[in-house]
Amino acid sequence: MVRSTPERKAIRSLVWLLVIIIALIAANGASVLFNNGQWTPKLALDLEGGTQITLSPQLSSGETVTPEQLERAVAIIRQRVDASGVSEAEITTQGNENIVVSIPGEPDEATRERIQSSAKLEFRPVLIADLPSASSVGEDDGTDPSTDPSASPSADPSASPSAEPSVDPSAAPAPSASPTDASDLAWITPELQEQFDAFDCATLAQVGANVAPVDEPLITCEQDGSIKYILGPVEVAGERIGDARAGLISSQTGVTTNEWGVFIEFDADGTAQFRAVTERLITLTGVQNQFAIVLDGAVISAPRTLSAITDGRPQISGNFTEESALTLADQLKFGALPIGFEIQSSENISATLGVSQLQSGIIAGIIGLILVGLYSFLQYRALGGVVLASLVVSAIITYLIITYLSNQQGFRLSLAGVAGLVISIGVIADSFIVYFERIRDELRDGRRVDGAVEAGWKRAWRTILISDMINFIAAIVLFILAVGNVRGFAFTLGITTIVDIIVVALFTHPMMQLLARTQFFGGGHPLSGLDPKALGAVYRGRAQFRAPVGVTSTKVASSSREAQRRQTIAERKAAEAAGEGKDER
Amino acid sequence: MSRLTQFGNDLYTGERSFDFVGRRRTWYVIAAVFVILAIGLTALRGGFVFGIEFRGGSEFRVQSTSVVEQGTAAATALADEAVSAVVPGANPRVSIVGGDSVRVQTEQLTPAQTDDVRAALAEAYGVPVSDVSASFIGASWGADITRQALIALVVFLLLASLVLAIYFRTWKMSVAALIALFHDLVVTAGVYGVFGLEITPAAVIGFLTILGYSLYDTVVVFDKVRENTSEDGVESRRTFAQSVNLAVNQTLVRSINTSIVAVLPTASILLIGSVLLGAGTLRDIALALTVGTIVGTYSSIFLAAPLYVHLRQNEPELKKQGSRPRVARTESGAVR
């Protein structure tokens, strides 16, 4: 069967649409099969129920939070929330400075506290350093091969000799003696020693942050669990750090070496405090010579003291790589900032409320769809069917895309998103109206239906593209800049705008091309919505019209006689040829 | 065919024509009056009423309580009593939400007070504590949203006007469209201000959506204007103003259909939202949008197009075109 070009094009477009839909179904099917996906979009907190806590940093005036700091804070808060055993918590940043924690259900007071507490940086002297859970080495032999060899050479020689002899004499004779300074081993009471022995570095994360008061010793571990410590009370608080940066260390002659280090600058108080600490530590030996940098209760580094630092500008050297030096500098700087997070809003959303809202949203959507359909039938007769069919196709594609993004990107449908979807019905239907009105304009200009469909499309397509582009810009700007609920709304708005373009180009227009070839539409049946007679005017020239004149039957008859009289040259010749027998001339 | 189709035919051919452009001073005055009313009445009322998200405070919701059936007054008194018992002088704002829920808003409470009030409300209404939800909202939260929304507004306006200027190849359309958009935003916000409706983050979302819609609608009209005026060329028998006016008339049926189709879903959300749920996200978004859609359609036709003519009418090229008598072309023959 030979098909005309528009018809073939139309069928090709429809096939493409089918391919897109099948691909979306397949993508969703794949995530359902392999990635624990679902066939329904995940719901946001306001529909599913749960608690949403917005944290804002407590800053003194003039201070700002950098994106890196915020990221770091999110990572810390995520650790804390995970440690509290809450699964599926969502932690996001909002508006460049806030952090939003969304938790299903209701968090207890302890979790709240933990989320809220600031990342605390402290300098504590090392009293005892040891391999982690030394007692369990025998049992865990096979399971922990990585920590042992790496930890042994560094920690063992220094820790064992200094710790063993010093603990016994001080702990035994003077258990009640109050410690004279932070490095005094008198801090180590038998109970503490017991706790230390029983302490397992693997539980560090569960214990949580900031477990010991500043004026008491702290049992903790290196962040990666490789070394276990007893640390003295806090000697310098993190807030005393003015700046910290990573860089290459210069030798004493001023030549830059290839060794990475971290440079710290203390403020005036910090300089004095740090000077006192280093002056004392330099006289001590073994692990007591070390001071530990503690972030959120875990030791991030425990460098030795090589000299007394009097200018408040210590360098930390060690086996740093560029990356680890930068990380430490960042941790010092970030921990040094007095960023405590304050709970700005905390919202409990019960699921029942969300469900009733969702239901109403869906009811509103269906009613809206029906009303739009009814109005389209009223205005565009049978073409209303095309509008409804296009809307249904849009709905299917939108649903599939949202479900896919929900499975893959963690998108969650919020109430504002549902509103966006319902509202998009109107926006999507609008492109059909633009298109149909253009077709009608072309019909008014005197084109045949199939020509009008093509010409109308060319003009409508431009309009649809530019107006959708405006909508899309709005969606993107809102999504990037706006916060909270606005994002969910902007997201659905953006998706439906794209879907609108796809559906209009790959469904509505091809359908019109095919329908224009049917007798019903192409012939301009009064109910088709494309009745040229109803659309009136006869074309007379560019943008000049006259209404069709009522023509009487006698007039029709006379004009046909006139037409017969005024034969074309060819007709006359044919007639002459036929009447050659009768000789007229 | 419907009457609107016939109407559309007449508008298309120019048989029937509304003088949108010619009587532009009238429309300007109407728009100005609306803007002044919106600002003035809002100011008279003492400014906008901001939702709890902007003021800060605690909010409780008691789910599906049968007490509501005994009457609003009884339910309110009950909540008042419960809250006052815990926090003396709290002066809570109580409202019935939807058919069966009670919303209680108070000033900011401490976590301990919040728990107590929850328990007290649960007891007062005879529901399990889990059916009483508590929210605490810091005052700066709404401010954050507003600040970000304002930044978004400015960025959007810049981007959109740039895109429009490039697409239409004249910055004057951008300016006209933006003035119309500004009018829409002020009048819509004015509806909230004048009627003392609470401005919530959801309402702010609604305002932001108007941005897209209002421009969208103007763009469709302007696209026809561009088409008509560029087709005319210099030898048109119509003046520039007439071309624009014809374009507006020709897209009038579309504008009407579009706004009806856009309003139908938002209005159904508004209706469903208010009847079933009372105040809430859905209703707040829908209210702003319903008003914005109607105002947006009005401004595209009555403001944007006339303003565009206004901005361009003094261009020498167009002045020449406008002053040329209609017969000029026949007289001059085929000069061009």
Q: Which chain A residue shows the shortest CA-CA distance from B16?
A: A547
Q: Per the CB < 8 Å rule, is B167 touching A349?
A: no
Angstrom distance (rounded) from CA B157 to CA B155: 5
To the nearest whole Å, the CA of B28 is away from the closest chain A CA by 25
Closest by Cβ to B281, choosing from A95, A371, A416: A416
Query: Residue A567: what pLDDT?
Result: 59
> Residue B253: closest CA among chain A residues belongs to which residue?
A437
Give the mean model confidence (pLDDT) for residues A222-241. 80
ipTM score of the complex? Answer: 0.77
Name the minimum distance, in Å, from the CA of A242 to any CA of chain B. 29
Beta strands in A274-313 (DSSP E): 291-295, 298-301
A-B interface: how many C-beta pairs under 8 angstroms? 266
Tokens of A115: 């989320």
User: Are the Cβ atoms of A350 and B212 closer than 8 angstroms?
Assistant: no
Q: What is the reported pLDDT for A571?
A: 62
Query: Is the dihedral angle over the CA atoms B281, B287, B288, B290 positive or is it negative?
Result: positive
Give the whole-angstrom CA distance, residue A561 versus residue B182.
Answer: 64
Closest residue to B134, CB basis, from A348, A369, A420: A348
Which of B1, B53, B285 faces A419 most closely, judged by CB atoms?
Answer: B285
Instruction: Find, among B303, B123, B292, B301, the residue nearest to B224 by Cα.
Output: B301
Supply the mean pLDDT for chain A. 73
Residue among A54, A419, A480 minimizing CB distance to B286: A419
Q: Is the pLDDT of residue A52 over 90?
A: no
Residue type, B102: V
Q: Name residue A7's amino acid.
A: E
One-letter amino acid of B19: D
Going by C-beta distance under 8 Å and a sequence separation of 6 or more, which residues neighbour residue A529? A379, A380, A381, A382, A383, A384, A436
pLDDT of A134 reads 39
Burial of residue A116, with CB atoms counted within 10 A of its CB: 0-12 exposed, 13-18 middle, 19 or more buried: middle
Identify the pLDDT of residue A15: 92
Residue A155's contacts (CB-CB under 8 Å, 6 or more residues apart) are A129, A130, A131, A226, A227
Angle between helix axes B201-232 and A415-444 (nearest 10 degrees) is 20
Of B201, B213, B258, the CB nearest to A485: B201
Chain B residue with minimal CA distance to A546?
A: B13
Q: Percentage of residues in chain A with pLDDT exceeding 90? A: 7
Q: Are strands A236-237 and A315-320 parallel, antiparallel or unpaired?
A: unpaired
Token pair 């004057």 in the structure block, residue: B172
Q: Which of B15, B114, B223 to mutate to test the interface with A (most CBs of A within 10 A)?
A: B223
A480 within 8 A of A405, measured Cβ to Cβ: no
What does the mean pLDDT of chain B come to? 78
Tell me: pLDDT of A170 over 60. Answer: no
Is pLDDT at A23 greater than 90 in this prediction? Answer: yes
End-to-end CA distance of chain B: 43
Poorest-pLDDT segment among A199-203, A281-285, B268-272: A199-203
Residue B280 CA, distance from chain mean position: 17
Interface test with B, best of A65, A106, A470, A495 (most B CBs within 10 A): A470
Domains and CATH numbers, chain B: 17-48+141-322 (1.20.1640.10), 57-137 (3.30.70.3400)
**What is the SS3 assignment for B107?**
coil
The three-class DSSP label of residue B237 is coil
Q: Binning pLDDT at 50, 70 and 90, where does residue B233 land? A: low
Res A82: pLDDT:
65
CA distance B297 to B259: 7
DSSP letter string over A102-129? Answer: EESS---HHHHHHHHSPP-EEEEEEEEE
The third-level CATH classification (topology) of the domain covering A121-344 is Gyrase A; domain 2 (3.30.1360)
Residue B75 in contact with residue B29, Cβ under 8 Å?
no
Rounded distance, CA A328 to CA A247, Å? 11
3-class secondary-structure state, position B38? helix
Report for A122-131, A281-290, A341-350, B22-31: range of highest mean pLDDT: B22-31
Q: What is the pTM of this model?
A: 0.65
Distances, alpha carbon B255 to alpha carbons A459, A530, B263, B307, in Å: 17, 19, 12, 18
What would you report as the CA-atom Rg of chain B, rounded to the nearest whole angstrom?
26
Distance in angstroms (rounded) separating the CA atoms of residues B269 and B80: 31
Where residue A506 falls among pLDDT bands split at 50, 70, 90? very high
Per-residue pLDDT, A25: 92
Contact A356 B276 (CB under 8 A): yes
Cα A35 to Cα A179: distance, rounded to the nearest angstrom: 57
Sign of CA dihedral B237, B241, B247, B252: negative
Which residues lie below 8 Å from residue B54, measured CB to CB, with a gap of 6+?
B139, B141, B142, B143, B146, B199
The pLDDT tens digits of the residues spanning B26-53 come to 889 999 999 999 999 989 988 888 877 7
d(CA B18, CA A544): 18
What number of other Cβ atoms are within 10 A of residue A520's Cβ? 12
Q: Which residue has the higher pLDDT, A88 or A7?
A: A7
Q: What is the DSSP letter of A548?
A: P
Note the CATH number of domain A5-42+353-522.
Answer: 1.20.1640.10
Q: Does domain A48-111 have CATH number 3.30.70.3400?
A: yes
Cα A275 from Cα A266, distance rounded (Å):
10
The domain ranges of chain A are: 5-42+353-522, 48-111, 121-344, 536-584
> Pick the residue with more confidence: B328 or A121?
A121
Out of A112-116, A386-390, B285-289, give the one with best mean pLDDT.
A386-390
Query: Which helix (H) or strand (E) is B106 found in, with range?
Result: strand B101-106
Give me A380's structure tokens: 């565009």
